[in-house]
Chains A and B, each alone.
Chain A
Amino acid sequence: MTDPFEPTIIGFTCNWCSYRAADLAGTARIKYPPNVRLIRLMCSGRLDPTFVFKALASGADGVMITGCHPGECHYIEQNYKALRRFQLMRRTLQGFGIEPARIRLVWASAAEGAKFASEVTSFIEEVRALGPLHWGKNDSVPTLTEAVIQQEEVPA
């Protein structure tokens, strides 16, 4: 028998909110699947879209981008830039013929360890459902409407 598909997720966290949320999830011993591997940035605003493509191209099946809640960014408003870039990346991915759902943006304050864990878990399940990403060789392009709906799901 073959092992079930275990997706690998690269997660980008900001130093002030979401990384601390991840720490809190740990301190509170909240469990989530081990499929996610985190990278710490100072701010979600530091997220260069190429990081995301690099991660997917290097074999990651999904990328999770996390930052402070809008209005609570420790650099005042840089997480809004992350939000804009996120929208852009989804469209770009679609151009590549990759499901935009393979990247997710999550706002998590330093107090939201539980939220962080549950978002990770649900994202892993979502990516698991999408199946392994074979960068470039992907032909299952989602319909525009689906994409639009997903766009609308982005937390404001």
Chain B
Amino acid sequence: MTEKVIANASPLDSQERIGVYVCHCGTNIAGVVDVVQVAEWAAKQLKHRGVVIAREYKFMCSSLGQELIEKDIKELGLNRVIVAACSPHLHEKTFRTACANAGLNPFLCEMVSIREQVSWVHTDKAAATAKAKAVISGGVERVRHHVPLEPIVVPINPATMVVGGGIAGIQSALEIADAGFHVYLVEREPSIGGHMAQFDKTFPTLDCAACILTPKMVSVGSHPNITLLTWSEVEKVDGYVGNFTVTVRKKARKIDEELCTGCGICQEKCPRKIIDDVYEAGLGYRKAVYTPFPQAVPNRPVIDVPNCTYYEKGTCKACEIFCAPKAIRFDQQDEILTLEVGNIILATGYDLFDARRVTNYGYGRLPNVFTSLEIERLTNAAGPTNGNIVLRDGKTAPKSVGIVHCVGSRDRNFNNYCSVICCMQSLKFAHLVHERTGATVYNFYIDMRTAFKDYDEFYQRVMEEGTLFVRGKVAEVTNVPRYETEKGKLIIQVEDTLVGKQRRIPVDMVILSTGLEPRKDSKEIAKTFGISCSVNGWFIEKHPKLDPIATMTEGIFIAGCAQGPKDIPSSVAQGAAAAARVLGRIEQKQMALEPVRASVIEEKCSGCRICNGLCPFNAITFHEDRMVTEINPALCQGCGTCVAACPAGAITGTGFSNDQIMAQIEGLMMLNVDQEPVAA
């Protein structure tokens, strides 16, 4: 029986036997659309189009509703099903499964929406009912051209790549590696750790960043299942979910990592001192050969070629002279690695907003204006001042400090989004400054956003400590005094909006709570991995609420700030979640892809190559020998752009073929339904 139905399924043999199922959805639909009339109409007026049965039922998605359909398929030998109910985004799966249970190929079932697109948006019952009929007629005409499809099954390579060695990436890598699968962790900098490694304390608990991060970094470095590729960047991604081929450039460290013992003598002896504007945020110095920080993983230095005297003048080699294991390799070249992985997790993080762009805050012009990252380094015991919070002169402790919120955030002149972490970060600074210097601390905020667990409690605590809060966006920071009391100070000019007056508050130090920005090259990264970016440059998730971890490209997941500003707990959570998704895939060993794909009918292909440039997923290849184009079904994401572009009509798009769309148009226009006026 089942087989028989399948056998009849192709539109070529025998004619269609279509079942139409109209859902009441309680009163959601029935309240506006006369579902009974619609069903009767379909049975009568669409009979000659192959409708053998039309039913209406309270809740089609209920098990009873589904059984109704399954029963008809079996007993009436239906070979097409139309369900007129809610949005296919809600229940398409449900009804396809029902059909499959009854032995009908799931892709011979089509849903049309008469709730989101009819009953919920229209009030005129007659018109709504008429539209429901039109929509159903469209569905019926369309489904006549459906053909049975088989989901595309691809194997999943258990190896996974994690790009970005910040806290989110570290979390993902460890979760997968601990589950017993191999991970390639690719990091652009010489060490993993990311921004978190630069911090001193973390809100709201104030535990030391290094204390909680270092152990994780160490286990990454020593984990048998993790291949750690630091000082490396992804250059190219080929393939598709389950079978990616990733090209990674391992930049020349100029050090033999095997021989090097990480003793550090080379850094000690290197005569060249450079301002470290990555790890030390420009506040401290490093050598031309360096490991960014003592707990670096791997504990192997790199030679900063552009700044190395040897590469400049051809002499020096101080590092080489003193290196006992003889691990210095001035002639070492970049390595290109090709790695096979099944899934990829992008955790590429964020860049800090460049506070110099807000010229009225004076960063870069007024010495004692600092950015949040600079303060992280100042407060850090391992930082350039051993944790002493001092002015730019390197010695004086500030007596009064102003902390400015929303620098570069919530501002149409810069970034119009909220950077999420700044309020809490500012409160943390208030606490640290107060604790270490006893200075008077001001916080200047537009709105206080302390939304998560224990955050508002921390706000309370900082208030108790005596931090002064001023509600108002700081207008300017100036060193031009108007009165005696302002001489030699930085003056913060702001409207205290709760008083309704302009205030000028003299302080010794200003801290700009600078916002988060997408990586400068996030758009290129997105292109490399074939995912999409918001206008700002944050990676776009598959669904903002229900799937903030996957992307529109199968097999590519995102975690941490690359998806949008977030704090450490959220980054860790998202990193773990991404890992869980990947592990799920690996466990299944293979996965089925929606068979909505484009394919070329070689006989028709004229080899004009018009389609060749259109595919952003590189699914289209041209065979010079046969002068025809071919589409790789696993790479194809089914957008259909090439189908629409082919002048010869040689490309077909399964699930959305020209026949199907054309027929649906006729159906919607009620062309095949006589006796029925085209009502609207």
User: In their complex, do chains A and B touch, with some C-beta pair under 8 Å?
Assistant: yes
Q: A26-B121, A59-B671 are in contact. Are A74 and B532 (CB under 8 A)?
A: yes
Contacts of A54 in B (CB 8 A): 662, 665
Verify B532–A72 contact, CB threshold 8 A: yes
A127 to chain B, nearest CB (A): 11
The one of B544, B639, B669 that contacts A8, using a Cβ cutoff of 8 Å: B669
* A-B residue pairs in contact (CB < 8 Å), sample of 19: A7-B680, A10-B668, A10-B669, A20-B89, A22-B117, A26-B87, A26-B113, A37-B135, A42-B639, A42-B640, A42-B653, A46-B644, A48-B658, A48-B661, A49-B644, A51-B665, A55-B669, A71-B534, A78-B641
A106 to chain B, nearest CB (A): 16
Verify B680–A34 contact, CB threshold 8 A: yes
A60 located at the interface, meaning its Cβ lies under 8 Å from any Cβ of chain B in the complex: yes
Contacts of B115 in A (CB 8 A): 26
Verify B121–A117 contact, CB threshold 8 A: yes
User: Binary interface profile of B, 79-94, with partner A (CB < 8 Å = 1, else 0)?
Assistant: 0000000011100000
A86 to chain B, nearest CB (A): 12
Contacts of B103 in A (CB 8 A): none
Q: A46-B641, A48-B658 are in contact. Are A29 and B671 (CB under 8 A)?
A: no
Q: A34-B680, A48-B644 are in contact. Are A42 and B656 (CB under 8 A)?
A: yes
Known: A51-B665, A72-B535, A77-B616. 4 other contacts (CB 8 A): A22-B117, A31-B121, A34-B121, A75-B639
A56 to chain B, nearest CB (A): 10
User: Binary interface profile of B, 568-604, with partner A (CB < 8 Å = 1, else 0)?
Assistant: 0000000000000000000000000000100000000
Chain B residue with minimal CB distance to A75?
B639
User: Binary interface profile of B, 427-456, with partner A (CB < 8 Å = 1, else 0)?
Assistant: 000000000000000000000000000000
Chain A residue with minimal CB distance to B598?
A46
B149 to chain A, nearest CB (A): 14
Verify A75–B616 contact, CB threshold 8 A: yes
Verify B639–A43 contact, CB threshold 8 A: yes
Verify A10–B644 contact, CB threshold 8 A: no
**Segment from B122-130, B236-244, B307-315 that makes contact with A:** B122-130
The one of B135, B596, B669 that contacts A58, using a Cβ cutoff of 8 Å: B669
Residues of B513-534 contacting chain A, CB below 8 A: 526-527, 530-534
B643 located at the interface, meaning its Cβ lies under 8 Å from any Cβ of chain A in the complex: yes
A19–B534 alpha-carbon span in the complex (Å): 19
The residue among A27, A41, A45, A69 with the most chain B CB atoms within 10 A of its own CB is A45
The one of B113, B118, B614, B644 that contacts A34, using a Cβ cutoff of 8 Å: B118
Chain B residue with minimal CB distance to A12?
B661
Verify A60–B669 contact, CB threshold 8 A: yes
Chain B residue with minimal CB distance to A73?
B532
A60–B138 alpha-carbon span in the complex (Å): 14
Verify B124–A34 contact, CB threshold 8 A: yes
A98 located at the interface, meaning its Cβ lies under 8 Å from any Cβ of chain B in the complex: no
B666 located at the interface, meaning its Cβ lies under 8 Å from any Cβ of chain A in the complex: yes
Verify A10–B123 contact, CB threshold 8 A: no
Verify B668–A72 contact, CB threshold 8 A: no
Chain A, interface residues (CB within 8 Å), range? 35 or more
Verify A81–B664 contact, CB threshold 8 A: no
A123–B614 alpha-carbon span in the complex (Å): 30
Number of interface residues, chain B, beta carbon within 8 A: 56
Contacts of A74 in B (CB 8 A): 532, 540, 552
Verify A23–B639 contact, CB threshold 8 A: no
Number of CB contacts from chain A to chain B under 8 A: 147
A46–B232 alpha-carbon span in the complex (Å): 38
Chain A residue with minimal CB distance to B596?
A42
Verify A37–B530 contact, CB threshold 8 A: no
Q: A74-B552, A81-B614 are in contact. Are A45 and B665 (CB under 8 A)?
A: no
A59–B678 alpha-carbon span in the complex (Å): 10
The residue among A33, A37, A55, A77 with the most chain B CB atoms within 10 A of its own CB is A37
A83 located at the interface, meaning its Cβ lies under 8 Å from any Cβ of chain B in the complex: no
B134 located at the interface, meaning its Cβ lies under 8 Å from any Cβ of chain A in the complex: yes
Q: A32-B121, A37-B131, A69-B535 are in contact. Are A43 and B665 (CB under 8 A)?
A: no
Contacts of A72 in B (CB 8 A): 532, 534-535, 540
Residues of A71-128 contacting chain B, CB below 8 A: 71-78, 81, 85, 110-111, 117
A39 located at the interface, meaning its Cβ lies under 8 Å from any Cβ of chain B in the complex: yes
Verify B669–A6 contact, CB threshold 8 A: no
A115–B276 alpha-carbon span in the complex (Å): 48
A32 to chain B, nearest CB (A): 6
A25–B122 alpha-carbon span in the complex (Å): 11
Contacts of A25 in B (CB 8 A): 116, 121
User: Binary interface profile of B, 533-559, with partner A (CB < 8 Å = 1, else 0)?
Assistant: 111000010001000000010000000
Q: Which 9 A-B pairs have the closest CB atoms?
A: A26-B116, A46-B640, A45-B641, A75-B639, A43-B639, A26-B120, A48-B644, A76-B616, A6-B680
A119 to chain B, nearest CB (A): 13
B637 located at the interface, meaning its Cβ lies under 8 Å from any Cβ of chain A in the complex: yes
Verify B639–A71 contact, CB threshold 8 A: no
Contacts of A60 in B (CB 8 A): 665, 669
Contacts of A43 in B (CB 8 A): 639-641
B638 located at the interface, meaning its Cβ lies under 8 Å from any Cβ of chain A in the complex: yes
A30–B641 alpha-carbon span in the complex (Å): 31
Contacts of A48 in B (CB 8 A): 643-644, 658, 661
Q: A23-B87, A25-B121, A40-B88 are in contact. Are A47 and B644 (CB under 8 A)?
A: yes
User: Binary interface profile of B, 636-680, with partner A (CB < 8 Å = 1, else 0)?
Assistant: 011111011100000001001010011011101101000000101
The one of A34, A51, A75 that contacts B661, using a Cβ cutoff of 8 Å: A51
A76 to chain B, nearest CB (A): 4
User: Binary interface profile of B, 343-359, with partner A (CB < 8 Å = 1, else 0)?
Assistant: 00000000000000000
Chain A residue with minimal CB distance to B655?
A42
A129–B138 alpha-carbon span in the complex (Å): 27
Verify A45–B117 contact, CB threshold 8 A: no
Contacts of B671 in A (CB 8 A): 58-59
Chain A residue with minimal CB distance to B616?
A76
The one of B120, B653, B680 that contacts A46, using a Cβ cutoff of 8 Å: B653
Q: A34-B124, A34-B128, A46-B653 are in contact. Are A23 and B89 (CB under 8 A)?
A: yes
Verify A29–B120 contact, CB threshold 8 A: yes
Verify B639–A46 contact, CB threshold 8 A: yes
Contacts of A111 in B (CB 8 A): 544
The one of A35, A71, A85 that contacts B535, using a Cβ cutoff of 8 Å: A71
Contacts of B644 in A (CB 8 A): 45-49, 81, 85
Verify A81–B135 contact, CB threshold 8 A: no
A20–B542 alpha-carbon span in the complex (Å): 13
Contacts of B116 in A (CB 8 A): 22-23, 25-27
Contacts of B527 in A (CB 8 A): 76
Contacts of B639 in A (CB 8 A): 42-43, 45-46, 75, 78
